[in-house]
């Protein structure tokens, strides 16, 4: 049977089940739908009807099964109530529709993208006729190629746990993690998962690019609650060391601009800058080469000098 | 056999159910307009309309069928009787959450000037979606933005009022420049925001990371963007141009292959990685190599290695004097 015949049949079934509030018995459906009437046997009809019913329900069409009143538990028939079917009355302004259009384009990832597009198509019929005030001037994409991204979103939505292999920065092998996912966060262009690490029994932050292969959801839905009022973006920030030590750095005029921007205070080209991770800060400073000199603290100065020596040794070797 | 787009019956039905309410709400649109709106060919839309008018309540007598008039010479379409599908089908949980999570994500972008519009769209969507949205509750795609609010606001204001911007900008190579830019759009890719505009110094379309803009002034000059200036295709991502450089990374530097857009990555033995990436500014590369103190080796550009060596020696001299 061709696809167009099936779409037509599904649509006619939909109309039949919406035609009255009274449930329609299966036998009546067999009479009014051409393909059902023409099916060679009762069995063939049953199979066809079950498939169609599943397809319609899969699209979100609310087909109700009404049991008979004789107490036998038998099925009297099926119906679709118009109010249960139709999108509630709502009116969007032209500007609101433009913003919805922008949102529908956010997902580069195929399954999320097509869901958002289908939603938009429906909502676009609910415009109030007003015209767009002006261009939105923004184009946003979540274009991550992380294969786990849609899996994690779906797991957060259904509150299912996920399992994945997580690679540590300096190790070839990863270890298995079981996590109740709470949210995903973009920080400086990278994606992170925030959630409750089941084995370690505490909240943890994971970088998506270090998940080897794909995360897999497991176990039942609604398996956990996301704690009320958690701020996943704040959790990422908290997971990075806080700035606790203050350094004095001499910066040549006009140099190390990004560093100077972070200074608490600058006088006579000496900047006060706070940092958390000495190693990370030392490596940043080495990047500025001879345009900065660490004046204090002594340990930071020593780390920078040691790194410069390493650098010279490595380049001389190569 | 000629190639055809294979469409499932479900996908087609989903479109048919959206087509009727949309045509009702937009009485008189042409077949081509409707086809474009739904992203199908004119022929496909016509086939859809022919199918629709053959469907309806059981009995299929006059008055039971969907009635659409679409044979006028001007190609206009008029829905005369939509039967019971005059309104769109409710949003499914998938659809509602895909859209609302994206809207909440947009809310966090720096420089979105229509925040009130976004907020009212979310409220209306929530009321229209009803239970379907219970599922999206708590699905957070958050952005940690490093862009000062005033920079985002100024850029957005200049875009909507078509005014030229004067930027003080710090490039990835740590070089500051002052330039005039006619703003076109704000682009946001994976949470990182950029201003796209016509740069008057480069006489070309350029993108500027919002978190690298030091200061911005909205000038009185109106924008004058050449007609043929086209924005980047965001679906391709923002890729830097520049000659390719191949680097050998020790395991502790392997993150570089994750961090920067590259042409190829190859895993070597002992956790080392070989990566080839475009480098638009050699100063940026020198800086990266200094920072990585010996854990990165330039494979194919020996002269760049000596730049790094000399820079490190100059720096060390300042500590040893």
The answer to whether residues A18 and B22 touch, using CB atoms and an 8 Å cutoff, is no
Chain-chain contact of A226 with B59 (C-beta, under 8 angstroms): no
- Which residues span the domain enclosing B258? 244-320
Residue with tokens 């038998």: A74
Q: pLDDT at position B2, please?
A: 46
> Residue A107, preceding bond cis, omega within 30 degrees?
no
Q: Is position B2 within any domain?
A: no
- Which residues span the domain enclosing A230? 148-239
How many domains is chain A built from? 4
The answer to whether residues A190 and A207 touch, using CB atoms and an 8 Å cutoff, is yes
DSSP A24: B
Q: Is position B279 within any domain?
A: yes
Find, among B50, B133, B52, the residue nearest to B93 by Cα: B133
Cβ-based contacts of B160 with chain A (< 8 Å): 134-135, 137
The answer to whether residues B67 and B80 touch, using CB atoms and an 8 Å cutoff, is yes
Chain-chain contact of A286 with B293 (C-beta, under 8 angstroms): yes
Q: How far is A73 from chain B (nearest CA, A)?
A: 27
d(CA A278, CA A300): 7
CATH number for the domain harbouring residue A217: 2.30.30
CATH number for the domain harbouring residue B187: 2.30.30
Counted residue by residue, chain A has a size of 318
Task: Tell whether A161 and A223 lie within a shared domain.
Answer: yes
Task: Tell whether A48 and A81 lie within a shared domain.
Answer: yes
Find, among B6, B88, B104, the residue nearest to A118 by Cα: B88
Task: Tell whether A92 and A81 lie within a shared domain.
Answer: no
CATH number for the domain harbouring residue B306: 3.30.70
- Whether residue B225 lies within 8 A of chain A, CB to CB, comes out as no
Chain-chain contact of B98 with A116 (C-beta, under 8 angstroms): yes
Provide the pLDDT confidence category of residue A169 given band limits of 50, 70 and 90.
low
Task: Tell whether B191 and B128 lie within a shared domain.
Answer: no
Task: Tell whether B121 and B167 lie within a shared domain.
Answer: no
Residue with tokens 């969507």: B125
Q: pLDDT at position A16, please?
A: 95
Which residues of B, range 37-96, sit inside 8 Å of A by Cβ? 37-38, 47, 51-52, 54-59, 83-85, 87-96
Comparing alpha-carbon positions, the chain B residue that sits nearest to A31 is: B58
Q: A239, A261, A286 — which closes off a domain?
A: A239
Q: pLDDT at position A73, please?
A: 73
Give this prediction's pTM.
0.79
d(CA B97, CA B109): 19
pLDDT in tens, B232-285: 777 666 667 788 999 998 888 888 887 788 888 888 888 888 999 888 888 888
A161-174 burial, b if ≥16 CB within 10 A, otherwise e?
Answer: bbebebbeeeeeee
User: Between vectors from CA B31 to CA B30 and to CA B37, what angle results, nearest 5°?
Assistant: 90
Task: Tell whether A153 and A135 lie within a shared domain.
Answer: no
Which member of A12, A125, A140 has the closest CB to residue B21? A125
Task: Tell whether B126 and B154 lie within a shared domain.
Answer: no
pLDDT in tens, B125-164: 998 888 777 766 667 787 777 788 889 889 989 998 999 9
d(CA A301, CA B187): 40
How many domains is chain B built from? 4
- Whether residue B249 lies within 8 A of chain A, CB to CB, comes out as no
Beta-bridged to residue B81, according to DSSP, are: B67
DSSP string, B20-64: HHHHHHTTT-BHHHHHHHHT--HHHHHHHHHHHTT-BSTT--TTT
ipTM > 0.85 (yes/no): no
Q: B40, B59, B81 — which closes off a domain?
A: B81
Q: How far is A43 from chain B (nearest CA, A)?
A: 22
Residue A88's SS3 state is coil
The answer to whether residues A108 and A150 touch, using CB atoms and an 8 Å cutoff, is no
């Amino acid at each position: 049977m061709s696809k167009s015949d099936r779409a037509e049949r599904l649509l006619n079934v939909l109309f039949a089940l919406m035609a009255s509030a009274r449930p329609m018995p299966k036998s009546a459906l067999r009479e009014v739908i051409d393909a059902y009437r023409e099916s060679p046997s009762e069995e063939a009809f049953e199979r066809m009807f079950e498939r169609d019913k599943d397809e319609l329900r899969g699209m979100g069409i609310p087909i109700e099964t009404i049991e008979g009143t004789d107490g036998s538990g038998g099925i009297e028939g099926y119906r679709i109530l118009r109010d249960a079917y139709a999108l509630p009355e709502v009116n969007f302004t032209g500007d609101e529709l433009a913003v919805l259009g922008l949102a529908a384009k956010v997902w580069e990832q195929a399954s999320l993208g097509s869901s958002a597009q289908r939603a938009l198509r429906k909502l676009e019929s609910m415009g109030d006729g007003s015209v767009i005030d002006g261009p939105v001037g923004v184009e946003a994409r979540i274009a991550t190629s992380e294969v786990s991204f849609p899996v994690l979103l779906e797991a957060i939505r259904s509150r299912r746990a996920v399992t994945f292999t997580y690679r540590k920065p300096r190790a070839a092998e990863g270890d298995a993690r079981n996590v109740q996912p709470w949210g995903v966060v973009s920080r400086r262009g990278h994606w992170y998962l925030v959630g409750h690490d089941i084995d370690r029994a505490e909240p943890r932050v994971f970088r998506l690019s270090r998940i080897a292969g794909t995360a897999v959801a497991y176990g039942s839905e609604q398996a956990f609650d996301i704690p009320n009022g958690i701020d996943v973006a704040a959790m990422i920030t908290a997971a990075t060391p806080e700035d606790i030590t203050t350094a004095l750095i001499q910066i040549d005029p006009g140099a190390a601009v990004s560093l100077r921007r972070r200074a608490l205070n600058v006088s006579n080209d000496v900047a006060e800058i706070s940092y958390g991770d000495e190693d990370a800060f030392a490596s940043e400073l080495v990047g500025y080469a001879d345009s900065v000199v660490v004046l204090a603290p002594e340990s930071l100065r020593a780390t920078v000098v040691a790194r410069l020596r390493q650098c010279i040794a490595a380049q001389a070797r190569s | 056999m000629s190639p055809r787009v294979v469409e499932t019956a479900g996908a087609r039905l989903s479109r048919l159910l959206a087509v009727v309410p949309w045509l009702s709400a937009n009485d008189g649109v042409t077949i081509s307009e409707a086809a474009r709106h739904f992203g199908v060919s004119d022929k496909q839309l016509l086939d859809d309309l022919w199918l629709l008018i053959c469907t309806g309540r059981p009995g299929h007598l006059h008055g039971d069928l969907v009635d659409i008039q679409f044979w006028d010479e001007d190609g206009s379409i008029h829905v005369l009787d939509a039967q019971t599908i005059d309104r769109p089908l409710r949003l499914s949980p998938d659809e509602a959450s895909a859209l609302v999570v994206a809207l909440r994500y947009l809310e966090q972008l720096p420089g979105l000037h229509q925040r009130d519009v976004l907020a009212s769209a979310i409220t209306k969507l929530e009321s229209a979606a009803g239970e379907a949205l219970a599922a999206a509750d708590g699905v957070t795609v958050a952005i940690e933005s490093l862009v000062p609010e005033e920079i985002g606001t100024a850029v957005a204001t200049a875009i909507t009022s078509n005014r030229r911007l004067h930027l003080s900008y710090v490039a990835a190579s740590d070089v500051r420049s002052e330039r005039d830019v006619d703003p076109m759009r704000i682009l946001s890719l994976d949470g990182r925001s950029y201003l796209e505009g016509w740069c008057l110094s480069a006489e070309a379309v350029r993108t500027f990371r919002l978190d690298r803009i030091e200061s911005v002034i909205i000038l009185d000059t109106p924008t004058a963007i050449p007609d043929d200036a086209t924005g980047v295709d965001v679906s391709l991502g923002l890729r830097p141009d520049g000659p390719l450089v191949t680097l050998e990374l020790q395991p502790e530097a392997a993150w570089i292959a994750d961090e920067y857009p590259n042409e190829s990555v190859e895993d070597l033995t002992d956790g080392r990685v070989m990566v080839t990436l475009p480098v638009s500014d050699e100063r940026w590369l020198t800086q990266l190599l200094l920072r990585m103190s010996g854990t990165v080796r330039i494979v194919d550009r020996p002269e760049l290695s000596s730049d790094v060596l000399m820079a490190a020696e100059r720096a060390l001299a300042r500590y040893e004097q």
